[in-house]
Amino acid sequence: MGEDPAARVRAALQRQVVHAVLGNERIAREHGLRVTDLQTLHLLVLREDVRTPRRISDTTGMPTSTVTKLLDRLEQAGFLRRAPDPEDRRRTRIELEEDAIAPLRNVYGRTDEEFAALSGEFAPSELEVVARFLDAVSDFYAARPDESR
């Protein structure tokens, strides 16, 4: 009998993470960013609910002092700006500079098109199982303020 399916999935996920990290490091470098800066920027693009330094810290598990330095770099590079939160002026809201992130959207957009073509090789029911599994894996590895993995 072949290798345990769970072990195959774990090994495939580990390979995928390696390729994703190294690919994102290359993209970050090409755009004058650190990989953590790029991924935080990507998080801001993907999640409208993450728009304050505190939410970035809570979502990523990074200390607020690290988030401040990261936002300083992204703001200096022109990818975002800080503005007073209209609901609570004591808070800072993060606003993306769409023109500055457009080249990154193009890079990831090409990847999205290629991913859509790859996904077309699988039945919707197969993709549903994969999506459910990956959601569970993502939740398992999500940053938890009281733990480190």
Asked whether residue 1 is assigned to any structural domain, the reply reads: no
pLDDT at 140 over 80: yes
What is the extent of the structural domain holding 25? 11-141
pLDDT score, position 138 = 85
Residue 147, pLDDT score: 55
55 near 49, Cβ under 8 Å?
yes
Separation CA 45–CA 79 (nearest Å): 11
| pLDDT surpassing 80 at residue 96 | yes
pLDDT of residue 25: 95
pLDDT digits (tens, 9 = 90+) for 48-93: 999 999 999 999 989 999 999 999 999 999 999 999 988 888 889 9
Is 48 domain-assigned? yes
Confidence band (pLDDT; 50, 70, 90) for 149? very low
Q: Tokens 């004591």 sit at which residue?
A: 90
Q: Report the sign of the C-alpha dihedral through residues 10, 15, 55, 50, in that order.
A: negative
How distant, in Å, are the alpha carbons of 4, 89, 133, 136 from that of 100? 46, 26, 34, 33
Q: Would residue 68 count as lying in a domain?
A: yes
147 lies in a domain? no
C-alpha closest to that of 60 among 145, 147, 146: 145
C-alpha span between 58 and 40 (Å, rounded): 12
**Comparing 102 with 145, which gets the higher pLDDT?**
102
CATH number at 123 reads 1.10.10.10
Nearest to 44 by CA among 35, 36, 56: 56
Report if residue 67 sits inside a domain.
Answer: yes
- 106-128: pLDDT as tens digits: 887 777 888 889 999 999 999 99
Identity of the amino acid at 42: H
* Residue 64 included in any domain: yes
Mean pLDDT of the chain: 89
pLDDT of 143 over the 70 cut: no
**Residue at 103 is within a domain:** yes
- What is the arithmetic mean of pLDDT over 37-57? 94
Q: How far is CA 109 from the centre of its chain?
A: 14
Indicate if the pLDDT at residue 18 is higher than 80: yes
What does the pLDDT average to over 40-51?
93
Number of structural domains found in the chain: 1
CA dist 53 and 68 (Å) reads: 7
